Amino acid sequence: MIQSIVFLLLGIVVLFLGSQLAIRGFENIAHRFRVSHLFIGLTVVAIGTSLPEIGVSVIGAIDILAGLDMSAVSGVVVGNKIGSFLNQLTIIMGIVGLTGMMAITKRELKREGTMLVLSIILFSLVALDLKITPMEGGIVTLAYLLYFIYLVKQESLCKSTSKVQEEKPKIHLVKDLLLILVGMCALLVAAEFVVEGSVQLAEILSIPTSVTGLLIVGLGTGLPELTLDITALRRGSAGIAVGDMIGSNICDILFSLGAGAMISGFTVEPILLLFDTPFMFFVAFLVIGLFLRNMRLERKEALVLVLVYVSYVLLKLAFFMGG
């Protein structure tokens, strides 16, 4: 038990330090190239924090080609993407929102909210026959790349039409990239430490595996986003936090899933379409609606998201996990 506790505490400390380094680097890059924090969050940070999900998809696809059971591997891969999506927009956004207020402009909410819903629609369409073929994987990947290009063009347009010409800050690009690399690596490794320590403690305390998988492992894969976004919010970089939480979901459901599907294709469990996908739509519209009230997410609204997550977990445990 002592070893498990040490793993857990060490992971938490490294998560904090890694998030500090990564956010400092991201902020400096944004200032250097005069791009918005939201753009950085939607693109670089979102892809960076989605690396575990991308890895799960690609490795899973390679395992299928190597002869592992397609249904079993696909269940892990596709379930990971949906679980990550729901965790991000409920418990993670809720906890981050409880630490400070997140704001977004009406134009940004319309653009990112629309793409968030479109990503769920596209996933639903390609998964409707309970399988995602390599060609369909290519389609959803292409959809993400087009969205990424659109974001770049929109950011360039905003820069060119801006009347304020700021002097480019003197920032060491190599140093900042190194900060980001070290910080992100620390986040990913530390998250693994936390998950491993938590699972070991759960086994020692005889906690059911269904609870372990849904709560500990599910939340553990979101630890990089959680710690990084809380750090960003506390440093006054709310745009990075909001952009990461929305952008990483779009990345997960399109690029992360598509990258693996292009290699081998995946199957989709019926329950994911019947229960989890409708819940994804509900959560997406709920988040958009909460932000639409006054273009920010306050603590009472963040609490609503936490309660929605608790309700989702209870429903899964009661009807679908089966002890």
Asked if residue 76 has pLDDT above 80, the reply is no
What's the confidence (pLDDT) of residue 210? 46
Nearest residue to 257 (alpha-carbon basis) of 267, 243, 246: 267
Please give the domain boundaries of the chain with CATH numbers for all domains.
Answer: 38-159+223-321 (1.20.1420.30)
CA angle 303, 304, 310 (to 5 degrees): 90
Q: Quote the distance between the C-alpha of residue 254 and its chain's center.
A: 12
Residue 304, classed as helix, strand or coil, is helix
DSSP state for residue 166 in the 8-state scheme: P
The token pair that represents 101 in the structure block: 């207020």
pLDDT tens digits, one per residue of 250-296: 998 999 999 999 999 999 989 889 988 999 999 999 999 999 988 99
CA–CA distance, 74 with 71 (Å, rounded to integer): 5
Look at strands 296-297 and 266-267 and give their pairing.
Answer: unpaired
CA–CA distance, 233 with 95 (Å, rounded to integer): 12
Residue 69 φ/ψ, nearest 5 degrees = -60, 120
pTM exceeds 0.85, yes or no: no
Asked if residue 186 has pLDDT above 60, the reply is yes
CA atoms within 13 A on the CB side of 146: 10
What's the confidence (pLDDT) of residue 29? 79
CA–CA distance, 99 with 110 (Å, rounded to integer): 25
Averaged pLDDT score across all residues of the chain: 83
**H or E element at residue 296:** strand 296-297
Asked if residue 136 has pLDDT above 60, the reply is yes
Residues pairing with 132 in the sheet: 266
Distances (CA, A) of 265 to 52, 199, 260: 19, 30, 7
CB 60 within 8 A of CB 77: yes
CA–CA distance, 45 with 247 (Å, rounded to integer): 8
How much is the average pLDDT of 207-214? 52
Nearest residue to 50 (alpha-carbon basis) of 119, 106, 108: 119
What's the confidence (pLDDT) of residue 90? 94
How much is the average pLDDT of 88-94? 93
Asked if residue 203 has pLDDT above 60, the reply is yes
CA–CA distance, 286 with 220 (Å, rounded to integer): 24
Nearest residue to 18 (alpha-carbon basis) of 134, 189, 259: 189
